[in-house]
Amino acid sequence: MHKVIYDTDPGVDDAMALLFLHRHPEIDLIGITTVFGNASVETTTRNALFLKREWNIPAPVAKGASVTVDPTREERAWPTFVHGENGLGNIEVPETVDLPLDPRPAHRFIIDTVRANPGEVRLVAVGRMTNLAMALKEDPEIAGLVKDVVIMGGNFYVPGNVSPVAEANIHGDPEAADIVLTAPWKVAVIGLDVTAITTMSRSYLSEIAAKGDRAVKLLNDLSQDYIDFYKHAVKDGMMVHDSCACVYVVAPELFSIISGPVRVVCGGIADGQTIVKPDGRRFPPGDWDGLPSQVVCTGIESGKVIGLIRDTLLRT
């Protein structure tokens, strides 16, 4: 079993990934930590509790960061045009959900859970990397105690989605992402190179909903506005960014990779750009020296990934 802490900003594609993690038979979802990003952390936390309640997910929810690790950074507007005013595609969601939160802040929950399960925890982060960076700052030793980190974020050989060179999760807190990517732990980076070509059509999702239970029907309902948003890039369908990272946890063989140190540009015109120095390529001494080599996904078997998501969502 893969013990997973899911760090997330639900978020429509985050919701699909959450149901995937909950339903996959080889995944033991041991915690959900929330972060600002697709909406404020108040909203993403309320959404996590709402989905936990609707889908009977036993994992505790811990509320995380509301701002970037560098407090002098200017706040950015929430992408309501992507995930809706309420972060869940404008379906009806109660203002508050009467379920208890874990009493600890997300980064402390991460530290405690990693320390209680040395060598076992897989951190799957699909929002801003702020909680992970805060956990590392507070307790750097956790880097040697997690099994690995899988993130949805970044873009290497394709354009960004919030600037010509940057992807939303990295651009939303570049300093945090640079801390996470350069720490001495194993990170697998699932970025737009693979997620932007992994799409699910409206009709495919509604066929899943027709076959599935009420959990999948809710997922279908909350995805409709997100699919409308994607019409500029996808023919009547949506990119399933965050689910790709979750699929990597159980089926890394569906991805092709390169490896090398990864850095994030912090500031200026290329703010939030991710750069990999492929192992074996020689450059003059620079910002890559002595950094851990991370896994960067550059190819994906999209059809198989979508099929695995479908089969997993249909399990009850």
**Shortest Cβ distance from residue 169 to ligand BDR (Å)?**
5
**Shortest Cβ distance from residue 98 to ligand BDR (Å)?**
26
**Pairing label, strands 199-201, 255-260:** unpaired
Q: Which option in ligand BDR, Ca ion, none does residue 168 bind, with CB closer than 5 to 8 A by kind?
A: ligand BDR
Q: Which option in ligand BDR, Ca ion, none does residue 82 bind, with CB closer than 5 to 8 A by kind?
A: ligand BDR
Q: Got the DSSP string for 58-77? A: -S-EE---SS-SSTTSPP--
CB-wise, 17 or 313, nearer to Ca ion?
17
Angle at 54 between CA 53 and CA 57, to 5 degrees: 55
Q: Is residue 14 at the binding interface for Ca ion, with CB under 5 A as the rule? A: yes
How is residue 42 written in tokens? 């108040």
Catalytic residue among 22, 24, 107, 241: 241
**Shortest Cβ distance from residue 26 to Ca ion (Å)?**
22
**Could you tell me if residue 214 is left (phi over 0), alpha (psi between -120 and 50 degrees) or otherwise beta?**
alpha
| Dist CA 199 CA 249 (whole Å) | 19
CB-wise, 293 or 302, nearer to ligand BDR?
302
Q: Is residue 178 at the binding interface for Ca ion, with CB under 5 A as the rule? A: no
**Pairing label, strands 121-125, 262-264:** unpaired
Q: Which option in Ca ion, ligand BDR, none does residue 308 bind, with CB closer than 5 to 8 A by kind?
A: none
Q: Name the residue whose CB lies closest to ligand BDR.
A: 168
Q: Which option in ligand BDR, Ca ion, none does residue 167 bind, with CB closer than 5 to 8 A by kind?
A: ligand BDR
**Shortest Cβ distance from residue 118 to Ca ion (Å)?**
28
Q: Which option in ligand BDR, Ca ion, none does residue 18 bind, with CB closer than 5 to 8 A by kind?
A: none
Number of CB atoms found within 10 A of residue 260's CB: 18
**For Ca ion, which stretch binds (CB under 5 A), given 1-9, 44-52, 198-206, 218-226?**
1-9
Of the candidate residues 127, 154, 261, 272, the single one contacting Ca ion (CB under 5 A): 127
**Separation in Å, CA 115 to CA 2, 64, 141, 145, 148:** 16, 18, 9, 7, 14
Q: Which option in Ca ion, ligand BDR, none does residue 65 bind, with CB closer than 5 to 8 A by kind?
A: none
Q: Is 121:3 a contact under the CB 8 Å cutoff?
A: yes
Local structure of 116: helix, strand or coil: helix
For 273, list phi and psi in degrees, rounded to 5.
Answer: -70, 140
Annotate 183-211 with b (16+ C-beta within 10 A) or e (fewer).
bebbbbbbbbbbbbebbbebebbbebbee
Local structure of 150: helix, strand or coil: strand
CB-wise, 111 or 130, nearer to ligand BDR?
130
Q: Is residue 126 at the binding interface for Ca ion, with CB under 5 A as the rule? A: yes
241 has catalytic annotation: yes
**For Ca ion, which stretch binds (CB under 5 A), given 142-150, 235-243, 244-252, 257-265?**
235-243
- Interface with ligand BDR by CB under 6 A: which residues? 11, 13-14, 38, 82, 126, 152, 161, 167-169, 241-242
**Could you tell me if residue 294 is left (phi over 0), alpha (psi between -120 and 50 degrees) or otherwise beta?**
beta
Active site residues: 241
Please give the residue ranges that form the binding site for Ca ion (CB under 5 A): 9, 11, 14, 126-127, 242
